[in-house]
A and B are shown apart, each in its own frame.
Chain A
C-alpha cells in the first residue's frame, strides 16, 4: 500500500462523511420544502457578515468550549457524560445563590466565589453518576440523563420559589426568574455595542489548563490510561474507579462553570432556558474537536455558528431552528461511524486491492 493511497483513502472517507451528513440534513430540509442550498448558506455564512453576529457566535462558543472541555476529560477517562445540561443548570443555581447572598462584596472577592460555587454545584451533580458508576455499576448514560431531568425540575422550583425576583411578586407577572444579580459578578463587556464578555479569555485559559492536565501531568496520564484500556490500567496499578469519579467531577465542574460564566456575562440573572441544549451540543463539540482542547476551540466556534445560523434560518428562510439539533445528531452519528471506518485496517486493505484491480484492468485495456 502506498502512502499516497493511504492519504487519499482517508481524505475521501472524510469528504464522503461530510457529504453524507449534509445529504441527510438535505432530506429533512426537502421534506419541509425548504431551499436546501440557501438554508446551508444562511446557516454557515450569514452569521459571519456583521460584527454583531460574529460576537454572538463567540458568545455561544464560550459555554460550548467550557462544557466540551469537561466532556472530553470524562470521555478520555472512559465515561460518557451526557449530563452537562443538568450540571450547567446546577452551576447557575450555585452562582445565583452566592450572588444573592453576598451582593455587597467587592468584585475581586465575589466573582471568584460565585464561579467557584457554580463549579462546585456542577461538580456535585457530576459526582453522583460518577460514584454510582464506580461503586454500583450504574450506567452513566442513563443516570446522567435522569439527573438532567431532575436538575431541570430543581431549577424551575428554585426560580419559582426561593430565588424568585421580589419585583415579580409585587407586580404579579409571575415570570420565574431571579432578580438582577449584583454588579459584583458581572463580567465586563469589552466590545462596545456587543455582548461579548471577558468569559472568552476564561474559556481559553481553561482550555490551556485541560491540555496541561491531560498531557503534562501524572494525573492526566492515568486518566487517559484508564479510558484507553481499563483492564491494562488496572494491571498497571491505576485505580480506575477513582479516576472515573474524578473525571466526572471535573466534567461536572466545567459544565457548572459554563453556567456561571453564562449568567455572569450574558444574562446577569437566572432565567428559564439558559442551558438551552448547550449540554448536548457540548458532546458534539467535544467529538468534533477530537477530544482535544486545540480541536475543541475551533469546533465550538463552528457549532456556535450553527446555533446562531439556525436562528437566522428561522427568520430568513422559514426553516425551524430545531434544524440545528437534526444536524448535530447526524454529525455525531457520522463522526462515530467515520472514526471506526478510518480505524479499520482490513477495510483499507480491501479497498486497496480493488483499487489495484481497477488499475490493472486499465493497463489491460490500454495494451
Chain B
C-alpha cells in the first residue's frame, strides 16, 4: 500500500507540474498582416517554475511559409526595464533603462524585447521552438510574444536589422494587449 501511495504521489506531482502551462493563440501583425498561418492550430505555450525562477516558452507555428526562419521573442510593455531578462539581453532600451515608445495599430506604448530563438518551418510550413529562460528576476511582467519576419534582428549571424524585424505574429495582440507573467 505504501508503494502504491508513493508511485501515485510521483505521478500526481508530474501531472501538477505540467498543468501549470498556459496556451495562447497567435494573431496577425503588428507590422505584417498577410503572412500565412493556421491560426487555429498555431500556439504559444508558457509556464513558470516557482522553484527555479524559470519561464519556459514553446512557440508553435502551423501552416506558415515553408522552409522559412521566424525569430521569436518576448515584448515587454514597460516604462523602465533591466538590461537582461534571465540569460538573454534586453533590446531597445533608451537613455540607460527606459523603454522605447512606438505606435502600432493605432496604439502608442513603450516596450523592450528579449530575442530568445528561431522557429524553422519544414516543407509544410510547420515548426516549433522551446526555450527555458532564467533565473528571471522576481516581478510582474506585461508581455506579448512575437514571431518576426526572418532571423537576425538584434542578433549576430542573420539578416540584420531590416525587414526581418517586422512582426508577423503576436500573442495575445493586438498591439499593447498583453499577458501578465509573475515570477515569484
Real binding pair: no
